[in-house]
């Protein structure tokens, strides 16, 4: 089913039903801000397309896998980026994440070679090295803030894949310093009116300073790499050398720089949260953990995983796929450029359209017992029965995540490398909850204790593999 360009309401079309629970004046804004996952998960009961009110304006929530696919893939490119993207334009510049239409297609074409299989195989060396270096420094019995540790691991991995040569050494240090601060601030900025963002408050000044420092460090490394002219096999080299097949055009330094910042922002907390949730679920599901350990022991015998190991780690891949299902991005926004028809529901021109991979991935008709962590959902014969569009952790269509293979490769290599040596055991603390921040579902603080694998089962006698 594809959205039609122009429609008027007829006997066969209708307005979307309004979602219940709107407050006078405030509409559904408070519900979406205060308990976004519960609120969005309640909407499929009201219909496949539901009207909500945000800041006085209507927005349309699409709850049906087939219709979500229409938005993403049907007449690809018809829907533009949502209004929120304007809030992060000072950070992302004219990168692929903010562009629309022909410019978006051009940037995607130029970026494509950076994610070819041969290139991913080269970045994999950084994925292995970062996981091995970080995890070797953990102390047996020590408790880590595992959510933060995984975000940092993801950040360093993307930064090293971007800049592998010495030219990038200073930029990596700056990325580590300023990017976490920037990522923390983005959700707050998305919610505030522009006028407040321009006030010289300490938070705004900190954010502006961090953006300036990050942009200056990456700009410097782009200039140095352009002058150096060598292909270092990293993402930066690919972007500098990329040539549009149709026009012969290349990216300017500014454009290369903006793509780099887009990738740093898009590729850090997404992968970091996936890694953190994976170890959280392994700790809660001893049977799954035991099967994963059997596989990593057999293939790796305690050594770090490398790219060539991936085909021999199918269970690890299914564990990662299940973490991506269970904790998928919770919101994607679009803007309807003209009047369109979704199913029999008419969406007016200029309306905000939103949907949630997280909500789709928790629909019991698609995924029975959706809260259960069951990696075998991804056995090929079971996965083949899922309808098209039911699994969209990376989105779909013209804006599908270009880093999807990068992220899967990274997650398999890093989960296997860590699990070959360590068990992560939940430390005492408040119950772990799901927190929707940015577009990502994060765990609230996730303290975990590091137990070396050789000893871990003996120390945790009640959870030995033979008792699970
Ligand atoms: C588990 C990890 C990841 C998840 C779940 C994820 C998810 C997504 C999703 C859902 C989108 C599409 C948003 C939309 O339709 O508006 C997206 C876009 C994007 N992602 Fe990822 N991503 C991940 C990792 C990465 C990595 C590692 C990189 C780069 C190294 C990356 C770079 C990008 C970029 C540049 C875009 C914008 C594409 C465009 O607008 O055309 N992502 N990601």
Q: Is 272 in the pocket of ligand 1 (CB under 6 A)?
A: no
| Angstrom distances, CA of residue 372 to CA of 281, 288, 361, 368, 402 | 10, 12, 12, 9, 29
Q: Which atom of ligand 1 lies closest to the CA of 274?
A: 1
- 270 CA to centre of ligand 1 in angstroms: 8
Q: Looking at ligand 1, which atom is closest to the CA of residue 81?
A: 16
What would the two tokens of residue 315 be? Answer: 């269970």
Ligand 1 binding pocket mutation candidate from 157, 401, 408 (most atoms within 8 A of CB): 401
Atom of ligand 1 at shortest distance to CA of 399? Answer: 41
CB atoms near residue 375 (< 10 Å): 22
Q: Give the Cα separation of 313 and 160 in Å (integer).
A: 24
407, 397 Cβ separation under 8 angstroms: no
Segment 314-333, tens digit of pLDDT: 999 999 999 999 999 999 98
Which string of DSSP letters, residue by residue, matches 173-218?
HHHHHHHHHHHHHHHHHHHS-HHHHHS--HHHHHHHHHHHHHHHHH
- Give the per-residue pLDDT at 286: 96
Question: In the chain, which segments carry CATH 3.30.43.20?
Answer: 1-83+332-360
Q: What is the dihedral of CA 361, 39, 263, 158, to 10 degrees?
A: -70
Q: Which CATH architecture has domain 1-83+332-360?
A: 2-Layer Sandwich (3.30)
Tell if the pTM clears 0.75, that is, is over it: yes
Cα 438 from Cα 329, distance rounded (Å): 9
| Distance from C-alpha of 362 to C-alpha of 360, rounded to nearest angstrom | 5
Distances (CA, A) of 142 to 68, 131, 174, 286, 382: 44, 18, 28, 21, 39
Q: How far is CA 234 from CA 126, 231, 241, in A?
A: 10, 8, 11
CA 399 to ligand 1 centroid distance, Å: 8
In the chain, what's the furthest Cα-to-Cα distance? 70
Phi-psi region of 91 (alpha: psi -120 to 50; beta: other; left: phi over 0): alpha
Residue whose CA lies nearest to ligand 1 atom number 25: 267
Alpha-carbon dihedral of residues 355, 359, 365, 368, nearest 10 degrees?
A: 160
For the chain, the first-to-last Cα distance in angstroms comes to: 46
Distance, CA of 457 to CA of 70 (rounded, Å): 49
Question: How many other CB atoms sit within 10 Å of the CB of residue 83?
Answer: 16
Long-range CB contacts (< 8 A, 24+ apart) of 81-84?
A: 81/333, 81/334, 81/335, 82/333, 82/334, 82/335, 82/352, 82/354, 83/333, 83/335, 83/352, 84/190, 84/333
> Rounded distance, CA 29 to CA 44, Å?
18
Helix, strand, coil percentages in the chain from 3-state DSSP, rounded to 5: 55, 10, 30
What confidence score (pLDDT) does residue 12 get?
Answer: 65
Residue 407 alpha carbon to ligand 1 centre in Å: 9
291-318 in b/e form (b: 16+ CB < 10 A) is bbbebbeebbeeebbbbebbeebebbbb
Residue 458: predicted pLDDT = 38
Query: Which of 18, 15, 1 lies closest to 71 in space, CA to CA?
Result: 1
Q: In 3-state terms, what secondary structure has residue 122?
A: helix
Q: What CATH number was assigned to the domain covering residues 94-329+361-467? A: 1.10.630.10
pLDDT, tens only, 19-38: 998 888 888 888 888 899 99
Q: What is the number of the ligand 1 atom nearest to the C-alpha of 154?
A: 27
CA of 346 from ligand 1 middle (Å) equals 29
User: Is residue 278 within 8 Å of residue 324, measured between CB atoms?
Assistant: no
What per-residue confidence (pLDDT) applies to 76? 40
The answer to whether 177 touches 209, Cβ cutoff 8 Å, is no
Residue 381 phi, psi (nearest 5): -70, -30
Q: What is the pLDDT of residue 84?
A: 66
Separation between Cα atoms, residue 466 and residue 287, nearest integer Å: 10
The pairing of strands 434-437 and 345-347 is unpaired
pLDDT tens track, the chain, 468 positions: 344 434 455 556 788 999 998 888 888 888 888 899 999 999 999 999 999 998 778 899 999 999 999 999 875 447 777 666 666 776 777 788 888 888 888 899 888 888 999 999 999 999 999 999 999 999 999 999 999 999 999 999 999 998 887 778 888 888 888 888 888 887 777 667 778 888 999 989 999 999 899 889 988 999 998 898 888 888 899 899 988 888 888 888 888 988 888 898 899 999 999 999 999 999 999 999 999 999 999 999 999 999 999 999 999 999 999 999 999 999 998 888 888 889 889 999 888 899 999 999 999 999 999 999 999 999 999 999 999 899 999 999 989 999 999 999 999 999 999 999 999 999 977 789 999 988 899 999 999 999 999 744 434 444 433 222
Q: Which residue bears the tokens 């800041």?
A: 55
Q: Measured in angstroms, how far is the CA atom of residue 86 from the centroid of ligand 1?
A: 17
Our answer on whether the CB atom of 274 is closer than 6 Å to any ligand 1 atom is yes
The residue whose C-alpha atom lies closest to atom 41 belonging to ligand 1 is 399
CA 420/CA 454 separation, integer angstroms: 10
CATH 1.10.630.10 segments of the chain: 94-329+361-467
The finding on whether 268 has its CB within 6 A of some atom of ligand 1 is: no
Helical ranges in 243-392 per DSSP H: 253-266, 269-284, 286-300, 314-326, 357-360, 380-383
Q: For the CA atoms of the chain, what is the radius of gyration?
A: 23
Report the alpha-carbon distance of residue 441 to residue 433 in Å, rounded. Answer: 10
Ligand 1 nearest-atom number relative to CA 111: 35
């Amino acid at each position: 089913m594809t959205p039609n360009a122009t429609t008027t309401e007829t006997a066969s079309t209708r307005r979307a039903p309004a979602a219940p629970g709107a407050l006078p004046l405030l509409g559904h804004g408070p519900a979406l801000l205060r308990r976004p996952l519960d609120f969005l998960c309640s909407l499929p009961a009201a219909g496949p397309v539901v009207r909500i009110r945000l800041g006085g304006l209507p927005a349309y929530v699409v709850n049906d896998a087939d219709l979500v696919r229409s938005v993403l893939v049907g007449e690809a490119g018809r829907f533009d980026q949502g209004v929120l993207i304007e809030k992060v334009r000072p950070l992302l510049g004219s990168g692929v994440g903010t562009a629309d239409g022909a410019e978006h297609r051009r940037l995607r074409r130029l970026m494509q070679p950076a994610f070819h299989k041969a290139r991913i195989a080269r970045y994999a060396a950084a994925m292995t090295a970062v996981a091995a270096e970080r995890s070797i420094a953990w102390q047996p019995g020590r408790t880590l803030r595992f959510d933060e540790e995984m975000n940092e691991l993801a950040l360093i991995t993307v930064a090293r894949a971007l800049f592998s040569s010495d030219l990038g050494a200073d930029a990596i240090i700056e990325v580590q310093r300023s990017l976490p601060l920037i990522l923390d601030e983005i959700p707050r900025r998305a919610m505030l009116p522009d006028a407040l963002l321009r006030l010289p408050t300490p938070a705004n000044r900190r954010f502006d300073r961090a953006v300036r420092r990050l942009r200056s460090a990456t700009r410097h490394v782009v200039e140095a790499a352009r002058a150096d002219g060598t292909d270092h096999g990293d993402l930066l080299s690919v972007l500098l050398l990329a040539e549009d097949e149709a026009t012969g055009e290349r990216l300017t330094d500014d454009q290369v720089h903006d793509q780099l910042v887009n990738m740093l922002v898009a590729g850090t907390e997404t992968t970091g949260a996936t890694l953190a949730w994976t170890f959280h679920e392994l700790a809660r599901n001893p049977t799954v953990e035991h099967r994963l350990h059997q596989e990593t022991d057999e293939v790796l015998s305690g050594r770090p995983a490398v790219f060539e190991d991936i085909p021999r780690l199918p269970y690890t891949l299914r564990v990662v796929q299940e973490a991506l299902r269970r904790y998928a991005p919770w919101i994607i926004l679009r803007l309807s450029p003209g009047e369109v028809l979704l199913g029999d529901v008419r969406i007016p021109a200029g309306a905000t359209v939103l949907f949630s991979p997280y909500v789709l991935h928790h629909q019991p008709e698609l995924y029975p017992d959706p809260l259960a962590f069951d990696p075998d959902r991804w056995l090929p014969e079971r996965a083949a029965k899922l309808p098209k569009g039911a699994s969209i952790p990376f989105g779909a269509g013209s804006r599908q995540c270009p880093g999807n293979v990068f992220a899967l490769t990274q997650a398999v290599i890093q989960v296997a490398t860590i699990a070959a040596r360590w068990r992560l055991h939940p430390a005492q603390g408040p119950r772990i909850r799901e927190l929707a921040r940015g577009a990502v579902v994060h765990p609230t603080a996730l303290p975990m204790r590091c137990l070396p694998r050789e000893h871990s089962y003996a120390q945790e006698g009640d959870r030995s593999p033979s008792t699970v």
